[in-house]
């Protein structure tokens, strides 16, 4: 006679304080040569933060493509990116793909970016959009220090969920901070706080009009204010090319042009940004934007 022994499996939720968290650091440095060329002087990468340096098209500045090998962000992850362009240097920095911020068990994903631009230098900070999922928590900061005679083009976009998948973002915590200084003077400070039911918060006519995707674009530094009409013209052309679904506008501050874009979904926003940024750059965007 065989005795049967019943075993009861116990399933417990994972301890959020003991889960592995992603860490990533990337540091890039560029300097300008006497002949006007730019070369890389610093490349440091650690953890899940990586950088690739594909060959740039003839006549274009050096290109750096950032990667997060963790495959996304969630609560407790930490990423730091530092980019410096020395006097007279020029560079373009983008990301391999859209970043994704997933539902968290606890904690907040923190992403810090620090850009330092030397005298007469040019830096374009053009990451692809960040997709924020329901239940996610993100704290992001962008600190830009611009020397006299330098110029920066910077853009960040956020998409709430994937509309094509029928996703809605009911519970979210997003805090986004921009600080831009020009020759040691604070020229632009911007704060975004989106906490709670994102769909309800953005439903109001004064908060988003039902938008699910939005972006901030800044041209700052030498000659920026004189580009306001050009930026507005590029926005109008880009929105028209997108076929609607996007509202946008631009204004000028002291040494800074700021553009805001909101869209009903990710696709019209991306189409608009792709054309707008290419127009402001004076050349096509890096090929990763077309993948």
Q: What share of the chain is helix, strand, coil (3-state, %, to 5)?
A: 15, 45, 40
Largest Cα–Cα separation, the chain: 93
pLDDT at 170: 83
Nearest to 212 by CA among 275, 261, 153: 261
Report yes or no on 11 lying in a domain: no
pLDDT at 165: 67
Report yes or no on 84 lying in a domain: yes
Phi, psi of 204 (to 5 degrees): -70, 150
Report yes or no on 104 lying in a domain: yes
Report yes or no on 252 lying in a domain: yes
Report yes or no on 99 lying in a domain: yes
User: Residue 81: which domain range?
Assistant: 21-290
pLDDT at 7: 39
Report yes or no on 13 lying in a domain: no
pLDDT at 11: 45
Report yes or no on 38 lying in a domain: yes
Nearest to 44 by CA among 29, 31, 30, 27: 27
**Residue 193 CB: number of other CB atoms within 10 A?**
11
pLDDT at 6: 40
The residues of the chain scoring below 50 in pLDDT are 1-13
Report yes or no on 6 lying in a domain: no
DSSP bridge pairs for 141: 112, 177
Task: Name the pTM for this structure.
Answer: 0.91
pLDDT at 5: 37
Tally of domains in the chain: 1
């Amino acid at each position: 006679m065989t005795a049967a022994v019943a075993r009861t499996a116990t399933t417990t939720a994972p301890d959020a304080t003991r889960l592995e968290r992603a860490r990533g650091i990337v540091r890039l440095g560029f300097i300008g040569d006497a002949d006007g060329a730019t070369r890389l002087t610093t490349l440091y990468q650690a953890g899940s933060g990586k950088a690739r340096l594909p060959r740039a098209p003839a006549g274009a500045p050096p290109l750096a493509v950032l990667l997060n090998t963790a495959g996304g962000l969630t609560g407790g992850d930490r990423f730091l990116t530092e980019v410096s362009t020395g006097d007279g240097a020029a560079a373009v920095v983008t990301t391999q793909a859209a970043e994704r911020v997933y539902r968290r068990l606890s904690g907040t994903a923190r992403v810090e970016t620090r850009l330092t631009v030397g005298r007469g230098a040019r830096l374009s900070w053009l990451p692809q959009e960040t997709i924020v999922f329901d239940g996610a928590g993100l704290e992001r900061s962008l600190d830009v220090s611009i020397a006299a005679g330098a110029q920066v083009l910077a853009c960040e976009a956020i998409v709430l969920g994937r509309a094509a998948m029928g996703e809605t973002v009911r519970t979210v915590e997003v805090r986004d901070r921009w600080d831009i200084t020009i020759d040691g003077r604070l020229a632009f400070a911007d704060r975004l706080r989106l906490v709670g039911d994102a769909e309800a918060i953005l439903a109001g006519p004064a908060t988003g009009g039902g938008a699910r995707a939005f972006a901030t674009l800044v041209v700052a530094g030498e000659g920026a204010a004189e580009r306001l009409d050009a930026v507005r013209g590029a926005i109008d052309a880009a929105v028209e090319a997108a076929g609607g679904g996007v509202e946008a506008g631009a204004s000028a501050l002291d040494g800074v042009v700021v553009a805001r874009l909101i869209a009903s979904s990710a696709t019209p926003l991306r189409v608009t940004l792709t054309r707008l940024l290419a127009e402001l750059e004076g050349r096509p965007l890096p090929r990763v934007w077309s993948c």
